[in-house]
Amino acid sequence: MAKQATPRSDNMRLAVAQETARIMVQQSLTDFYTAKRKAAERLGASEQSLPSNREIEQALLEYQKLFGGRQYEDRLSSLRRAAIQAMEGLRQFDPQLVGPVLTGAAHSNSEVQLHLFTDTPEQVALALIAQDIPYHAGERQQRYGGERSKNCPCFTFMAGEVFFELLVFTLDGLREAPLSPVNGRPTRRARTAEVQALLSN
């Protein structure tokens, strides 16, 4: 039988989540696991008291709202504007924004993550070349429900001070999003109009 959470363990989970958020922002870390382990070590937390990635993301949002101030708001707006510019330049691939720039959990080292859709990934490479954008190509494994996974082509590049990661899915990928590493649910995606609305708000 699973052990029930106690008020003390709940408090420790919250403390670890908040400390993880602080570490991620102040040290510009993007890896939840690394930051979580650092926080747990600092606080002397047990394995049972480690928060989920979703709890850490919530703590990140709260930390930024409390302590990020105008610098956080300006950085988030700048990243979203950069995302919109890239999405307009890649509109033939029905680009959609995902990740911390969409959710608002971004910090100074967060990258702009886009999902693109085409049955010929080479066309993405050609589009980047046509826009004089030097890139690195590789693959990223994506998880789906039912313990399924697949490797997707990935293109990364810098534009000014912003790092971009483009994951390329087949056209069928529009119907099923991969699972988010944060909450294990289908990844939230947003098209250009929705990102523009976020900026307006």
CATH number at residue 169: 3.30.460.10
Within this chain, do residues 152 and 86 fall inside the same structural domain, yes or no? yes
Decide: helix, strand or coil at residue 101. helix
Residue 179: burial class (beta carbons within 10 Å; 0-12, 13-18, 19+): middle
Within this chain, do residues 98 and 180 fall inside the same structural domain, yes or no? yes
Within this chain, do residues 79 and 134 fall inside the same structural domain, yes or no? yes
Within this chain, do residues 94 and 167 fall inside the same structural domain, yes or no? yes
Task: Decide: 42 and 19 in contact? Cβ < 8 Å.
Answer: yes
Within this chain, do residues 112 and 149 fall inside the same structural domain, yes or no? yes
178-195 pLDDT per residue, tens: 999 888 999 999 999 999
Query: Beta partners for 113?
Result: 98, 165
Q: Check: pTM over 0.95? Answer yes or no.
A: no
19-61 pLDDT per residue, tens: 999 999 999 888 888 999 999 999 998 888 889 999 999 999 9
Q: Is the pLDDT of residue 2 over 50?
A: no
Within this chain, do residues 28 and 93 fall inside the same structural domain, yes or no? no
Any domain includes 130: yes
Any domain includes 56: no
Any domain includes 91: yes
164-177 pLDDT per residue, tens: 999 999 999 999 99
Any domain includes 63: no
Within this chain, do residues 117 and 32 fall inside the same structural domain, yes or no? no
Indicate the length of the chain as a whole number.
Answer: 201
Any domain includes 58: no
Bridge-based pairing state of the strands 112-117 and 162-169: parallel
Task: Decide: 78 and 108 in contact? Cβ < 8 Å.
Answer: no
Q: What percent of the chain has pLDDT over 70?
A: 96
Any domain includes 59: no
Q: Please state the domain count of the chain.
A: 2
Within this chain, do residues 46 and 75 fall inside the same structural domain, yes or no? no
114: CB partners within 8 A, 6+ apart: 83, 86, 87, 90, 95, 96, 97, 98, 164, 165, 166, 167
Rounded to whole angstroms, the Cα distance separating 32 from 21 reads 9
Q: Which domain holds residue 32?
A: 7-51
Any domain includes 64: no
Residue 165: burial class (beta carbons within 10 Å; 0-12, 13-18, 19+): middle
Within this chain, do residues 133 and 100 fall inside the same structural domain, yes or no? yes
Any domain includes 32: yes
Within this chain, do residues 80 and 43 fall inside the same structural domain, yes or no? no
pLDDT of 5 reads: 54
Q: What does residue 196 show for φ and ψ, rounded to 5 degrees?
A: -60, -40
Within this chain, do residues 34 and 124 fall inside the same structural domain, yes or no? no
Within this chain, do residues 47 and 114 fall inside the same structural domain, yes or no? no
74: CB partners within 8 A, 6+ apart: none
